């Protein structure tokens, strides 16, 4: 091994990252060559210096700082949005609720004629004409609903009839019974 | 409906035991991470930023971290990549094209590197001076060499571990460490030839 080759391997030799054979060759070269020995001495001193460097002290508490930052991030992401969503939904719900109470367009009381007196007591501001026309339309609606209900009942009965029929095992055409 | 939506949002947040595990791992290695970041950047502000950023990145990707593998090496890798991506852009000095040659202004700086501290307590002055000088010399190395040398000599990793962290071949690690140390040898010449630091 010449000096150039040895010097290119000195760092790896210093770090004990060479094969035993390479190590043996370099050791014997260093024993006989003052130049390479000097080079090795300097490199090992550099390694020693770097290894003895004082670990710097961070000016902030890294872990605590990181944790508070991270918690802040977590909080501002899904949670705040969930809260905002909930708040918005609650507002919309409240708005709808109050608007229904203040402007009762589809007041169920008006559907039935029997509630007429009660209705009149609470809604004096309506003219009799309005009331009558609304009531008549409501009565129509009521009748329509009754009709629809009756129809669906009939359908249900039909369904029930068909469903309650015993399930006959129908043969699949083309396939002999014995093979199944 | 509202409740289920809120719940699904909460589910995306990390579970407490993952958090706890992450904290535990970070507390074990935080000083070493910071030391690495400091040797790479050369100042506290950048080192703190770099460490914080790397930890945040690691935390976000912690679900991808395989239990049983080395947590510290994984974070060192994140620190190194962040450093290469971001901090090299902030470098004042342009990248030295010829890696084996010292920057041209080096010779003019040499006398400043060996100030006369004869009137100060010798040991402390030398230690402090040497620490400062070594850090300055480290900062003159190309980032890849600096990282390899620091991981080897400061952090004490093997070449294989370093190749793992820097995501390069063993041959590259060997060459980076060798060239890095050779450059340091030039920069620190006065300290190595007995002109200073003989007491070390
Ligand atoms: Zn030789």
Is pLDDT larger for residue B148 or for residue A98? B148
Residue A180 lies in a domain: no
> Looking at the domain assignment, is residue A102 inside a domain?
no
Touching A: B residues 42-81, CB under 8 Å: 44, 47-48, 51-52, 55-56, 59
Range(s) of the domain holding residue A10: 3-51
Q: Within a 10 A sphere around the Cβ of A24, how many other Cβ atoms?
A: 11
Neighbouring CB atoms inside 10 A of A83's CB total 13
Give one word for B156, left, alpha or beta, with left for phi > 0 and alpha for psi -120 to 50. Answer: left
A99, part of any domain: no
ipTM over 0.85: no
Is B32 within 8 Å of B165 (Cβ atoms)? no
Chain B positions touching A11 (Cβ under 8 A) are 174, 177-178, 181-182
Tens digit of pLDDT for each residue in B15-47?
Answer: 677 778 888 888 889 999 999 999 999 999 999
What is the DSSP secondary-structure string of A28-81? Answer: HHHHH-HHHHHHHHHHHHHHHHHHTPPPPPPSS-HHHHHHHHHHHHHIIIIIHH
B95-145 pLDDT tens trace: 443 333 333 333 333 333 444 444 444 566 677 788 889 999 999 999 999
Given this model, what pLDDT does residue B116 score? 42
Backbone angles phi, psi at A119, to 5 degrees: -60, -45
Domains of chain B: 1-97 (1.10.1740.10), 119-200 (1.10.10.10)
Number of domains composing chain A: 2
Give the SS3 label for residue B167: coil
Tell me the per-residue pLDDT of A12-22, one tens digit each, with 9 for 90 and over.
Answer: 999 999 999 99
Q: Is A147 within the bounds of a domain?
A: yes
Contact B97, B104 (CB under 8 A): no
Whether A64 is covered by a domain: the verdict is no
Do B126 and B197 contact (CB within 8 A), yes or no? yes
Distance from B16 to chain A by nearest Cα, in Å?
12
> Which residue from B9, B32, B184 is facing A81, i.e. has the nearest CB?
B9
Mark yes or no for CB contact A53/B131 under 8 Å.
yes
- Tens-digit pLDDT profile for residues B41-57: 999 999 999 999 999 99
Q: What is the pLDDT of residues B150-188, one digit of tens each?
A: 999 999 999 999 999 999 999 999 999 999 999 999 999
């Amino acid at each position: 091994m010449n000096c150039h080759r040895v010097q290119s391997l000195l760092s790896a030799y210093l770090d004990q990252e060479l094969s035993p054979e390479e190590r043996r060759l370099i050791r014997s070269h260093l024993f006989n060559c003052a130049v390479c020995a000097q080079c090795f001495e300097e490199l090992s001193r550099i390694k020693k210096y770097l290894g003895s460097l004082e670990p710097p002290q961070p000016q902030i508490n890294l872990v605590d700082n990181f944790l508070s930052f991270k918690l802040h991030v977590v909080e501002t992401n899904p949670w705040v949005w969930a809260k905002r969503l909930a708040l918005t939904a609650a507002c919309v719900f409240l708005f709808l609720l109050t608007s229904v109470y203040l402007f009762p367009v589809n007041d169920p009381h008006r559907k039935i004629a029997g509630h007429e007196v009660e209705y009149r007591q609470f809604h004096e501001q309506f003219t009799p004409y309005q009331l009558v026309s609304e009531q008549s339309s409501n009565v129509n609606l009521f009748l329509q609903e009754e009709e629809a209900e009756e129809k669906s009942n009939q359908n249900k009965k039909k369904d029930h009839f068909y469903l309650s029929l015993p399930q006959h095992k129908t043969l699949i055409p083309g396939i002999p019974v014995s093979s199944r | 409906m509202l409740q289920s939506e809120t719940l699904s949002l909460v589910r995306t947040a990390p579970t407490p035991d993952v958090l706890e595990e992450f904290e535990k791992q970070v507390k074990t290695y935080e000083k070493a991470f910071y030391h690495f970041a400091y040797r790479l950047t050369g100042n506290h502000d950048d080192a703190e930023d770099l460490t914080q950023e790397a930890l945040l990145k690691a935390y976000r990707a912690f679900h991808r971290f395989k239990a049983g593998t080395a947590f510290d090496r994984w974070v060192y890798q994140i620190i190194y990549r962040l450093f290469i991506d971001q901090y090299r852009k902030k470098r004042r000095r342009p990248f030295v094209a010829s890696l084996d040659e010292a920057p041209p202004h080096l010779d003019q700086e040499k006398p400043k590197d060996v100030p006369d501290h004869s009137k100060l307590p010798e040991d402390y002055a030398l230690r402090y001076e040497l620490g400062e000088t070594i850090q300055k010399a480290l900062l003159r190395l190309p980032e890849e060499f600096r990282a390899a040398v620091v991981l080897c000599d400061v952090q004490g990793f093997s070449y294989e571990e370093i190749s793992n962290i820097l995501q390069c071949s063993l041959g590259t690690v060997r060459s980076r460490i060798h060239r890095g140390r050779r450059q340091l040898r030039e920069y620190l010449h006065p300290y190595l030839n007995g002109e200073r630091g003989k007491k070390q």
